[in-house]
Amino acid sequence: HHREFLTDILFPQIEPKRGRRFLSDVVYRLRHALGNRVLSSSGDYLALDENQLLVDVWEFIKAGDARSAIDLYCGDLLEDIDADWLLGDRARMRDRALILLERHCTALHAQGQPLAALELAHRWIDIEPLSEQAHCAAMRLYAQLGRFSASLRQYERLSKVLSEELGIEP
């Protein structure tokens, strides 16, 4: 990517000349930490050699099976950074994780693996606490396991979160 483009993305509120100095400092630190083979430059362009790095986001995108992708998903992409350029990728990865969790949870339930499915249902709820579908999956799995009081507690959690966040009942 062109240095100017990277400066605009990484340091949008900083005056361009100062932003370029910050970028140069970042490049220096990356080269010092990772070596010259990982980060290369050609004139005003910088590039990362994807073959020299292991990046969880890249692995998540490339993951061929649901379980690997689910294991790699640790939350919203760079959740502490409030930047417009992140919103699309953040939403796409979150949506992919939710779809994979739902599908894999359903598949494990169908395969007679309620404990593994329940683990995924809870991960699904952690990512999307307002999802009635995720809470219902957990309630069904608790009931299948004969844990009816846990199923009732799950319903109460759903009721509480919907009431507090949206002012509605399940």
- pTM, to two decimals: 0.78
Q: Which pLDDT score is estimated for 61?
A: 92
pLDDT tens, residue by residue, 101-152: 999 999 999 999 999 999 999 999 999 999 999 999 999 999 999 999 999 9
pLDDT reading at 52 higher than 90: no
pLDDT tens, residue by residue, 60-109: 999 988 899 999 999 999 999 888 889 999 999 999 999 999 999 999 99
**Residues 167, 115: Cα–Cα separation, whole Å:** 32
**Residues 53, 69: Cα–Cα separation, whole Å:** 18
Amino acid identity of residue 112, one-letter, is G
Highest mean pLDDT of the ranges 28-37, 47-56, 138-147 = 138-147
